[in-house]
Amino acid sequence: MTTDPRLTLFCLAHAGGSAHPYIRLAADLPDHVTVVPLELPGHGTRVREPLLHGLTALTEEAVRQIGERRHEPYAIFGHSFGSLLGYEAARVLTAQGTPPQLLLVSGRNGPTEPLSHRPFHHLPDDGFVQGLQRIGGLPEALLAEPELLKFYLPAIRADLRVVETYSHARGPRLTVPVAAFAGRKDVLTDASSMAAWSRITTGVFDLTLVSGGHFFLQEPEFRAALGGRLTRFAATVGRIPAARGAVTRAVAE
């Protein structure tokens, strides 16, 4: 029996986030999945590069990084801001005739839903940080390091501006399956708002609730749920696991 191609999972982080958290995902995912975290300019290992401002530029960058891999089986996963960016990238890739086989989203209302909080990206740093704390939008580790937090604020602000000024553009719905994940204690979204992701596709939709607040990616329950969802997806398309889960990086070359 021949082995079908592996599935590449492109991952997009939350506002201001980097590719690093996704590197640790590979060990918990099915053997046939290769994790490729997408690193945006001004973030993580590309922190010295100028930030991109605006959804169009960010979407183009995500599509560029996916590049030639779009002609192989692939899926897109995004968390919070990354969900929005992943969705918009999927729309572009679909229009180009190379849609993902699966879109996975977490920690953000469906794109047709109103913003879950009052915008604050325009506030001075003190007010901006207070706003982030109010919505649970900062990892605890970052709050404990004021100087490090100050360093990351420009990237967080730029990404959050995209989220807070986003307006869903009308267009064809996706046709691929969409899998959504939500933290039971997430103050930024809830099951009803996450279920709104079903409106952007004609494909199968499912929602999984997991333990944790907004930043639940390291929770064992989420990792198990994500791995299970990818395994079920592989079964529906007849893909056969071929090797250990792997991780590579997609950055500017």
227-237 pLDDT, tens digit per residue, is 999 998 887 76
Most confident of the ranges 100-109, 144-153, 233-242:
100-109
117-156 pLDDT, tens digit per residue, is 889 999 999 999 999 988 877 877 788 888 888 999 999 9
Lowest-confidence segment of 41-55, 139-153, 235-249 by average pLDDT:
235-249
- DSSP 8-state secondary structure symbol assigned to residue 250: B
* Euclidean distance between CA atoms 247 and 24, whole angstroms: 8
Q: State yes or no: pLDDT of 252 exceeds 50.
A: no
Q: CB-based contacts of 86: which residues, under 8 Å, 6+ apart? A: 10, 12, 62, 76, 77, 78, 103, 104, 105
56-82 pLDDT, tens digit per residue, is 999 999 999 999 888 889 999 999 999
* Euclidean distance between CA atoms 226 and 8, whole angstroms: 14
- For the chain, the residue count is 253
For residue 142, the model assigns a pLDDT of 82
Name the burial class of residue 187, with classes exposed (0-12), middle (13-18) and buried (19+) by CB atoms within 10 angstroms of its CB: middle
Where do the domains of the chain lie?
7-117+172-247
Active site residues: 80
With beta carbons less than 8 A apart as the criterion, state whether 26 and 93 touch. Answer: no
* Euclidean distance between CA atoms 125 and 170, whole angstroms: 34
Lowest-confidence segment of 12-26, 118-132, 235-249 by average pLDDT:
235-249
Nearest to 12 by CA among 92, 75, 97, 96: 75
For residue 238, the model assigns a pLDDT of 56
Determine the average pLDDT of the residues in 157-174: 96
Determine the average pLDDT of the residues in 176-194: 94
Average pLDDT, the chain: 89
**Signed CA dihedral, 106, 112, 117, 120: sign only:** positive
Q: Percent of the chain having pLDDT more than 70?
A: 91
Q: Domain 7-117+172-247 adopts which CATH fold?
A: Rossmann fold (3.40.50)
- Integer angstrom CA distances of residue 146 from 57, 91, 215: 30, 38, 19
Entry pTM: 0.90
